[in-house]
């Protein structure tokens, strides 16, 4: 039996991925704001809707983790892997993530959040 329940891993990974998603979306919003687009508003509304949804889920994740005394810390990294340390219930779990996997998952999440925002527009 794993020391950290599998259903909690989702929350730890949200704390890894969602801040990355926010960084990318906020940079993209700046590009749309400052870009020479003819009609900026549709792009900005889409990106801002996605940002809003990510912020909401990140807040919920932080509340969940605080209640359960869970914590994630970034560990060592190199060009290929980044290590994260998960703390839960007195246990410490070191996990290494392939940087390419991190990038691909962030891209996948951006697609999901943009499509969620598109449904609301």
Please report the pLDDT score of residue 8 as a whole number.
95
Measure the CA angle with vertex 115, ends 71 and 65; round to 5°.
15
- Domain ranges in the chain? 6-120
Distance in angstroms (rounded) separating the CA atoms of residues 108 and 102 = 10
- CA–CA separation, 117 vs 119, rounded Å? 5
Predicted local confidence at residue 15, as pLDDT: 98
Q: Chain centroid to CA 44: how far?
A: 20
Give the DSSP H or E segment for 83: strand 81-88
pLDDT of 114 = 97
Whole-number pLDDT of residue 37? 85
pLDDT reported for residue 79: 95
Q: What is the pLDDT of residue 119?
A: 87
pLDDT of residue 2: 64
Distance CA 39, CA 52 (A): 21
For residue 25, what are its two tokens? 């979306």
- Backbone region of residue 93 per phi and psi (left: phi > 0; alpha: psi in -120 to 50; beta: other values): beta
* Residue 92 and residue 12 in contact, taking contact as beta carbons nearer than 8 Å: no
| pTM score of the predicted model | 0.92
Ordered mean pLDDT values, 10 residues apiece, the chain (121 residues): 84 98 97 91 95 98 97 96 95 96 98 92 68
> Which pLDDT score is estimated for 24?
98
């Amino acid at each position: 039996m794993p020391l950290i329940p599998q259903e909690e891993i989702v929350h730890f990974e949200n704390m890894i991925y969602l801040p990355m998603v926010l960084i990318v979306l906020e940079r993209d919003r700046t590009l749309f704001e400052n870009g020479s687009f003819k009609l900026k508003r549709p792009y900005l509304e889409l990106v801002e809707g996605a940002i809003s949804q990510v912020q909401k889920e990140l807040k919920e994740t932080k509340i969940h983790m605080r209640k359960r005394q869970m914590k994630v810390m970034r560990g060592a990294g190199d060009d290929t892997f980044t290590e994260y340390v998960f703390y839960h219930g007195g246990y410490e779990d070191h996990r290494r993530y392939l940087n390419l996997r991190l990038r691909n998952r962030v891209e996948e999440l951006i697609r999901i959040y943009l499509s969620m925002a598109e449904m609301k527009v």
